[in-house]
Amino acid sequence: MNRQDPRKKVRHSPFRTAKNVWFMIRYVLRYAPGYLLVTLLEALGKGGWHVAGVLFTRYLFDAIEAGEDFRRVVTFLLFYAGYNAVFLLFSRWRLSVYLPKVELVLHEGIQNELYEKARKLDQSCYDDPEFYNDFIWAIRESDKRTVQIMENISLFLNRLLSGAVIWSLLASMDLYAALFLLCAVLAGFFVRNRLNRVRYEKKLELNPIARKKSYVGRVFYLSQYAKELRQGKISSLLREKYAGAVEEEISCIKKYVKKIFFLSLLASLLSGVVPSAGMTGYLIFRYILDPTLSLGQFSASIQASHKLFRTLNDLGSCLNKFNEHSLYIENVRRFTGYEPKIQGEIREVPPFESLEIRDLSFTYPFTEGGEPVLSHLNLSIHRGEKIAFVGYNGAGKTTLVTLLLRLYDAESGEILYNGVNIKNYSPEEYRRHIGAVFQDYKIFAATVAENVLGGEYSEEKEPVVKEALEAASFTERLKLLPDGIQTQLTREFQKNGAALSGGEAQKIAIARVFARPFELIVMDEPSSALDPISEYELNQSILKNAAGKTVIFISHRLSTTRMADRIYMFAQGKLVEEGTHGELMEKNGKYAEMFRVQAEKYRAGEEASPKGTPDAESSAVSPAAFPATSPFEQQAASWEGAPEGLRGEYPR
Ligand code: ADP
């Protein structure tokens, strides 16, 4: 692609800069509109303060020279002092009381908006590293930049006001001096602008390096990596990667250091020593040569030139800052401008009756040229059915679930929900009808009840939570938790938070789909973290509680799925067989082969284990799959009493 990466664009027109600044001001209008008023008051107050300072000096000297009435001078002085006192009071209140509060209000509002934006985006955004860059920029920069922009606006306005008055005052006394100052400041402005662009380019280059470093930091910080880090040599590999990133950082800094040094030196000369010293020398020289100049005029012109110099410099810096902010805001806007492609008009989604998949093919985004992960699938599911998707890892089962949930949209073929293409439904409304337990389920740092409800808990919801936990076979473990359903999960924030085992956490995730009245439930490897007995109990419980509901089980452990009304066998993205367990065993195809392989593993595990206990590998086939030949014979025997769908023939 030849198109220039918009992130690398370091020049913005004044119009674009203004648009970007306005974009951030709109955050202020949304979350803290009073801040705009306070900023304008500060700008006017400070501008007036600067102007009054110069005018007062001039008046004072002229009044003394002209022998004015002393009382008038004192009255004027009192007014001036009063104005200063009021402004000082306001300014202090703004800085110490108002600003810290408003910063937090803005922070909360903006971050919430960005998090919500991220939640609504398509899943495919997470496959795109550039999305992460924009997301991180937005989260890191937006609230900080909003406050900085408001402060810049305040400075800009007050300097514009005082600059205009003081400049005309100086120009009326000495036009050349006023023009000289203007030129020096303009030169400084352009140099600083260049300097800012170089700094921004450097930051752009450093951003991906910072991400590498923060990845390593995250791995060492997050508890889910802690066990792996204590094994093998992965931690030294990560440290090497970190050191590599630091080296990259150093060479990037080296690349820019000279440029930044010279530009910043030039900028300080042009906006510091050169015009300041030149101006003072020139004015003294003029005063000596021109006897018509009054002392008041001379001292006012000295003060005015210094004030003007500072004011113009500040104005230049403000414009530089607006330009700099604009570069950063552009990235924030790119993130907020991401629009989900997955959309749909229909908001009224009827209760589930059927799903039909017609000639569905799918390739993940950002894998152009790759093989389709799913190709030409056709299948249908009706209300009340228990369906199983089975197949080896990588066959495409989870991908199909993500398509059913509309986390991605397939490029060809269609999925019909009650006969309507799911692309016509609003994704949010549509997803409300499907309860899903993901293979990589997550437990949140919140109470058991909040985790189960997926939201806030209130007392009247207690029975719902408890029933859902019972449906997920969590009741026994619940009895051991110190605060029952109010127990805090994870130790992220609480020292005595409950640390659940993988299987226990998985049950909490399963309970979520029972806490809401879903008619269609999808369970992706719901028992992958469970031991065989728990798996059997859970299967029983799920079937009992999901009676009348439609359930799609996804698993490569055939013991979990054999009870299904219909089994779909996937291989390399294609549907290769379908039927009941009995039909597929009779067919003696891929399913039967997979079932036998798992049974072999189980037997091997049984022989290898003195007590016949299957090892982790062999648990691929649970006792539910076998008659009373193992230590699980009791469980297996009770299989006979299991619901109809759970029974099946066992390979011998
Ligand atoms: P299964 O659930 O049957 O184990 P998956 O649906 O998870 O299989 O994966 C099918 C294929 O899709 C795998 O080859 C996997 O690498 C690929 N895949 C899964 N997620 C992504 C993704 N986000 N981007 C690209 N490829 C993916």
Domains (ranges, CATH) in the chain? 15-208+251-336 (1.20.1560.10), 440-517 (no CATH)
Give the pLDDT mean for 348-360. 94
Mean pLDDT is lowest, of 1-10, 82-91, 185-194, 397-406, for: 1-10
> How much helix, strand and coil, in percent to the nearest 5, is found in the chain?
65, 10, 25
User: Using CA atoms, how far apart are residues 149 and 56, in angstroms rounded to an integer?
Assistant: 31
- pLDDT band at 574, cuts 50/70/90? very high
* Positive/negative CA dihedral, 311, 315, 317, 321: positive
pLDDT in tens, 100-155: 999 999 999 999 999 999 888 888 888 887 887 788 878 888 888 999 999 999 99
pTM of the model: 0.72
Q: Identify the three-state secondary structure at position 358.
A: strand
At residue 612, does pLDDT exceed 70?
no
Q: What is the pLDDT of residue 46?
A: 87
User: Using CA atoms, how far apart are residues 383 and 518, in angstroms rounded to an integer?
Assistant: 12
Distance 395 CA to ligand 1 centre (A): 8
- pLDDT band at 8, cuts 50/70/90? low
Q: Where are the alpha helices (DSSP H) in 174-225?
A: 175-221
Q: The tokens 């249908």 sit on which residue?
A: 380
At residue 624, does pLDDT exceed 60?
no
Higher pLDDT, 481 or 622: 481
Distance 393 CA to ligand 1 centre (A): 9
Instruction: Report which secondary-structure segment, H or E, holds 378.
Output: strand 374-382
Distance 68 CA to ligand 1 centre (A): 90
Classify residue 547 as exposed, middle or buried by CB count within 10 Å of its CB (0-12, 13-18, 19+). Answer: exposed
Cα–Cα–Cα angle for 570, 573, 579, rounded to 5 degrees: 25
User: Using CA atoms, how far apart are residues 524 and 118, in angstroms rounded to an integer?
Assistant: 24
Distance 535 CA to ligand 1 centre (A): 25
Distance 126 CA to ligand 1 centre (A): 14
Nearest atom in ligand 1 to the alpha carbon of residue 400 is 6
Q: What is the pLDDT of residue 490?
A: 86
Q: What is the pLDDT of residue 619?
A: 38
User: Using CA atoms, how far apart are residues 423 and 601, in angstroms rounded to an integer?
Assistant: 43
Closest CA to 624 of 614, 633, 613, 611: 633
Distance 409 CA to ligand 1 centre (A): 15
- pLDDT band at 652, cuts 50/70/90? very low
- pLDDT band at 1, cuts 50/70/90? very low
At residue 413, does pLDDT exceed 90?
yes
Best residue among 399, 528, 560 to mutate for probing ligand 1, ranked by most atoms within 8 Å of CB: 399
Closest CA to 128 of 326, 393, 341, 330: 341
Give the pLDDT mean for 251-264. 94
pLDDT in tens, 468-519: 999 998 999 999 999 999 999 988 777 788 888 888 998 999 999 999 989 9
At residue 68, does pLDDT exceed 60?
yes
- pLDDT band at 465, cuts 50/70/90? very high
Classify residue 593 as exposed, middle or buried by CB count within 10 Å of its CB (0-12, 13-18, 19+). Answer: exposed
Q: The tokens 């939201």 sit on which residue?
A: 455
Residue of minimum CA distance from atom 27 in ligand 1: 364
Best residue among 398, 568, 572 to mutate for probing ligand 1, ranked by most atoms within 8 Å of CB: 398
Token pair of 197 as six digits: 């662009």
The pairing of beta strand 412-417 with beta strand 420-421:
antiparallel
pLDDT in tens, 163-197: 888 788 778 777 887 788 888 888 888 898 899 88
* Positive/negative CA dihedral, 499, 504, 505, 511: negative
Mean pLDDT is lowest, of 194-208, 238-252, 289-303, 510-524, for: 289-303
Token pair of 275 as six digits: 């015009």
Residue of minimum CA distance from atom 15 in ligand 1: 394
Q: What is the pLDDT of residue 606?
A: 54
Residue of minimum CA distance from atom 20 in ligand 1: 399
Report yes or no: 238 and 216 within 8 Å, Cβ to Cβ: yes
Distance 571 CA to ligand 1 centre (A): 12
In sequence order, the 6+-apart residues with CB closer than 8 A to the CB of 114 are 135, 138, 139, 142, 335, 336
Distance 248 CA to ligand 1 centre (A): 32
Residue of minimum CA distance from atom 19 in ligand 1: 399
Closest CA to 201 of 4, 10, 20, 11: 10
At residue 605, does pLDDT exceed 60?
no
Best residue among 127, 132, 364 to mutate for probing ligand 1, ranked by most atoms within 8 Å of CB: 364
User: Using CA atoms, how far apart are residues 193 and 317, in angstroms rounded to an integer?
Assistant: 9
Best residue among 373, 439, 523 to mutate for probing ligand 1, ranked by most atoms within 8 Å of CB: 373
In angstroms, the Cα distances linking 626 to 479, 587, 612 are 31, 20, 13
Distance 584 CA to ligand 1 centre (A): 25
- pLDDT band at 4, cuts 50/70/90? low
Give the pLDDT mean for 604-609. 54
Distance 399 CA to ligand 1 centre (A): 6
Higher pLDDT, 117 or 615: 117
What residues does ligand 1 touch, defined as CB less than 6 Å away?
127, 364, 367, 373, 391, 393-399
Nearest atom in ligand 1 to the alpha carbon of residue 573 is 10
Q: What are phi and psi of 523, to 5 degrees?
A: -125, 110
Q: What is the pLDDT of residue 24?
A: 94
Token pair of 208 as six digits: 């991906």
